[in-house]
Amino acid sequence: MKRFHVHLHVNDLAANIAFYSRLFGAAPTRVEADYAKWMLEDPRVNFAISTRGAQAGLDHLGFQVDDAAELAALKERATTADMALLDEGATTCCYARSEKHWITDPQGVAWEHFHTLENIPVFNEASAAAGACCAPSANPAQQAQAAAQLAQAELRLQQLQQLQITGQAVHSLKEANNKLAAAIKTSSDYTTAIIVYNPQLDLETMLNGLRQLSSTLKIALAITFSDLSQTIKDYSFDALLILPLFATNLAQVLNKMHQTNTTRTQHLLPSAANEPNCSGKRILLVEDNPLNMEIACELIGMTGAMIEEATDGAAALTKIAQAPENHYDLVFMDVQMPKLNGYDATKAIRKLSRKDVKSLPIVAMTANAFLDDIKKEREAGMNAHITKPFHLEELFAVISEWLHCK
């Protein structure tokens, strides 16, 4: 049988022993110069306090088990859920010899799973004079990454809520399997899965695993423009989402995947207060369609930036070649154009014998968001991608990023 475990750092051991003894209606089962522990039965809790922490507050949580089989079951659960695990095996801590392992949640809180073998007379045999408790020090980089992933997942769920869509975040194929299985039992199956790319992710295994779990599930890959490379194959995703993700783009992709026509996006355009102020910046807009040119000029002009126009890739190349260095701050380049397409125009611009063209931001404009198309943009030397028709939220974000406008 399991017992919940809580370990707190305290500054004044005596004051806290008095407080918790009154709170629990029981004296501690063990008291040392720097440590006290209550073994409560209702509820079953192993509650410990010590003065060994760097600051007062929660040190770690956990489960204490009665035998090795229960401990192995907890370890198996953590392993199959793809949780990062530190297996200490037999060790000493908190005046006891135990078998234990640790996991860390997305907030960086350590969880201890342990089976106590016997009591010992010192806090920790490895270093009786040690000044810290036994919880492992979390890797700051891992904590930051976990916190960032948690924040991004929360943001994407909020974007789905904007579209009146219910979503849930999972962090492994095993967790996705459990969610899908539970949904099937309640006749509320999931319609869409969005895989957020990271370099450690086995995309092929994840995609095939999800396909096996549900043959009707639509699957999209969310990835940053800079992460696209030759090493990423086209795994036949149903859609591609370029990060950062915007609610308007998400709605558009979901509509295409499920062949629906909805007005969910009509309330998602930002207000004028969100327009970046780019006064003094100069943008070259390359677009062969007169109507698209007019619309783009009007929307980009809302930022206060100066706009120059080119009706094809050849004209854009000429303008940049003849302009003084650093004349343009940003280029929006249509991909499909006569005379010289956007890919070849970008390649030619990058080859000009002048320094500014190496760092000049060039953003691809296209209605296509397929992996092969975006790979071509990367290979041509483009810096980012924006889909047509424009959504103000995305357009302003791209302009702000590359022109550093606020």
Residue 363's pLDDT is what? 94
Q: Which two tokens stand for residue 321?
A: 């070649």
Contacts of 121 (CB under 8 A, 6+ apart): 95
Which residue type sits at 93?
C
Q: Do 55 and 115 share a domain, yes or no?
A: yes
**136, 110 contact by CB (below 8 A):** yes
Q: Do 194 and 231 share a domain, yes or no?
A: yes
CA distance 308 to 398: 18
Q: Which helix (H) or strand (E) holds 241?
A: strand 239-243
Q: Do 20 and 134 share a domain, yes or no?
A: yes
Point out the domain boundary residue: 74, 103, 138.
Answer: 138
Point out the domain boundary residue: 138, 158, 188.
Answer: 138
Residue 27's pLDDT is what? 93
Question: What are the DSSP calls for 354-399, one per residue?
Answer: SSHHHH--EEEEES---HHHHHHHHHHT--EEEESS--HHHHHHHH
Residue 128's pLDDT is what? 39
Residue 187's pLDDT is what? 67
Residue 265's pLDDT is what? 38
Name 365's bridge partners. Answer: 334, 386
Point out the domain boundary residue: 138, 173, 206.
Answer: 138
pLDDT in tens, the chain (406 residues): 789 999 999 999 999 999 999 999 999 998 988 889 999 998 999 999 998 766 788 888 999 998 888 888 888 877 665 455 677 667 757 666 788 888 877 667 888 888 887 765 555 545 433 444 565 555 444 554 555 566 666 666 776 776 677 787 777 777 777 777 777 777 667 888 888 877 767 777 888 888 887 778 888 888 777 676 545 565 678 877 777 766 666 777 777 777 755 443 333 333 343 678 999 999 999 999 888 898 889 889 989 999 999 999 999 999 999 999 999 999 999 999 988 999 999 999 999 999 999 999 999 998 766 667 777 888 899 998 888 877 777 888 889 889 988 7
Q: Do 388 and 284 share a domain, yes or no?
A: yes
Q: Do 124 and 209 share a domain, yes or no?
A: no
Q: Do 133 and 170 share a domain, yes or no?
A: no
Q: Do 157 and 118 share a domain, yes or no?
A: no
Residue 349's pLDDT is what? 96
Which residue type sits at 373?
D
Q: Do 351 and 382 share a domain, yes or no?
A: yes
Name 35's bridge partners. Answer: 32, 50
Q: What is the CATH number of the domain that holds 73?
A: 3.10.180.10
The number of distinct structural domains making up the chain is 3
Residue 183's pLDDT is what? 77
Residue 120's pLDDT is what? 58
Q: Do 292 and 366 share a domain, yes or no?
A: yes
Q: Do 184 and 108 share a domain, yes or no?
A: no
User: Most distant CA pair in the chain: distance in Å?
Assistant: 87
3-state secondary structure of 293: helix
Q: Do 170 and 189 share a domain, yes or no?
A: yes
**91, 117 contact by CB (below 8 A):** no
Upstream peptide bond of 244 is cis (omega within 30 degrees of 0):
yes
Q: What is the CATH number of the domain that holds 313?
A: 3.40.50.2300
pTM of the predicted model as reported, rounded to 2 decimal places:
0.47
Residue 44's pLDDT is what? 92
Tell me which residue range forms the domain holding 111. 3-138
Q: Do 30 and 124 share a domain, yes or no?
A: yes
